[in-house]
């Protein structure tokens, strides 16, 4: 991978898998020009979730978040591209689905507010996780993937970014 490209981690949460929008989300990321470098479907266990959400483990909402992430399979992915972390975050939209702009993944496919989820005692089903910065991306990629699972290849449309 060249120096100007970044890697970022994306997870499609169980609600995205259950709703059958995995293809729509992947298509949006691919159409942005980024390259899918790794993917796998798995049921997240306590160990991987504690590593991934290490900064939240002691917070009141963690148990609900953990239980939500274990409701079904997760699609874990590594994406590569120029400014991949920031570009994926733009495509994903605001963490609070109700605040996400139309045209973003959350803005188009989710609408639940934090207030509603809190009043129901549920985790916010916001479809997708995307790394917030380069350091977080590096940490998360290493939690979910071994180096051998990350693939390098040339996309047919990459000439304009190299």
Weakly modelled stretches of the chain, pLDDT under 50: none
pLDDT at 127: 95
Tell me the pLDDT tens digit for each residue of 70-117: 999 999 999 999 999 999 999 999 988 889 999 999 999 987 777 877
Catalytic residues: 129
Is the Cβ–Cβ distance between 41 and 116 less than 8 Å?
Answer: no
| β-pairing verdict for 74-82 and 5-12 | antiparallel
pLDDT at 67: 95
Question: Which residues lie below 8 Å from residue 4, measured CB to CB, with a gap of 6+?
Answer: 82
Helix (H/G/I), strand (E/B), else coil: 80: strand
Q: In what order do the strands lie in the sheet with 35-42?
A: 35-42, 74-82, 5-12, 128-130
Domain residue spans of the chain: 5-146
Closest CA to 75 of 118, 35, 17: 17
Helix (H/G/I), strand (E/B), else coil: 150: coil
Pick the CATH number of 5-146 from 3.90.1300.10, 3.40.50.150, 3.30.70.141, 3.40.640.10: 3.30.70.141
Residue 20 has a CB neighbour count (10 Å cut-off) of 8
């Amino acid at each position: 991978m060249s120096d100007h490209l970044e890697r970022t981690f994306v997870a499609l949460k169980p609600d995205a898998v259950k709703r059958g929008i995995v293809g729509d989300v992947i298509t949006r990321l691919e159409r942005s020009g980024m390259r899918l470098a790794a993917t796998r479907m798995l049921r997240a266990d306590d160990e991987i979730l504690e590593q991934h959400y290490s900064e939240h483990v002691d917070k009141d909402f963690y148990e609900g978040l953990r239980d939500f992430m274990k409701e079904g399979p997760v699609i874990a992915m590594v994406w590569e591209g120029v400014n991949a972390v920031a570009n994926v975050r733009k495509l994903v939209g605001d963490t609070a689905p109700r605040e996400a702009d139309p045209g973003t993944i959350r803005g188009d496919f989710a609408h639940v507010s934090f207030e509603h989820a809190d009043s129901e005692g549920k985790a916010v089903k916001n479809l997708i996780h995307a790394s917030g910065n380069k350091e977080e991306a590096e940490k998360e990629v290493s939690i979910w993937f071994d180096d051998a699972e990350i693939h390098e290849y040339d996309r047919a449309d990459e000439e304009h970014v190299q």
